[in-house]
Structure 1
């Protein structure tokens, strides 16, 4: 078999799944309920964030928090301060790709 196969959760449980982490990319699947999210941090690579379902509330650097609905793809540059949250009642599901893969 040539291809490699990866699986990720399909439910509503909170998840931060590092599906692929190799020398090329990091591919991360995230699911958050209301008032859940990530600790504030700085991006360690270019981040491509796809909102699969729900509404993403995200603050970048010193900007006000912006909201993005399902079907939105964000490109966030390396070294950007990120505050990722779900402030909505609906479950938030994200796919995050870091490319190139972070060195650390």
Structure 2
């Protein structure tokens, strides 16, 4: 078999699944119920965030919270402060791709 097959959850329970974590990309599937989200943090790579369902409420750096809906794709630069939340009743589902993989940036930072 040439291809490699990965699976992700299809339910509505809160989950953060690290599906692919290799030297090229990180591919992460996230499901958040109302009031769930990620701790505030800085992006450790270039982040591409796709809203699969629900409404994403996200604060970036010092901006006010913006909302994005199903079908929206965000490109978030490396080292951006992120505050990711679901502030709505509907389940929020995201696909997050980090490219290059965060290990790329740690190698660059180690050389300085």
Asked if Structure 1 and Structure 2 have the same fold, meaning a TM-score greater than 0.5 normalized by the shorter chain, the answer is yes
Q: Which range, TM-score by smaller chain?
A: over 0.9
Describe how 1:1-104 pairs up with structure 2 within 5 A: 1-103=1-103
The Cα of 1:66 is off from its aligned counterpart by: 0.2
What SS class does the counterpart of residue 63 from structure 1 fall into?
coil
The Cα of 1:78 is off from its aligned counterpart by: 0.1
Q: Any gaps of 5 or more consecutive residues in structure 2? A: 107-112
Q: Any gaps of 5 or more consecutive residues in structure 1? A: none
Decide which structure has the larger Cα Rg and report it. 2
CA RMSD of aligned residues (A): 0.6
- Write the deviation string for residues 37-87 of structure 1: whole angstroms up to 9, x where unpaired: 000000000000000000000000000000001100000000000000000
Aligned to 2:109: none
* TM-score normalised by structure 2 residue count: 0.92
The Cα of 1:89 is off from its aligned counterpart by: 0.5
Structure 1 runs of 4+ aligned residues shifted over 3 Å read: none
Which structure is higher in helix share? 2
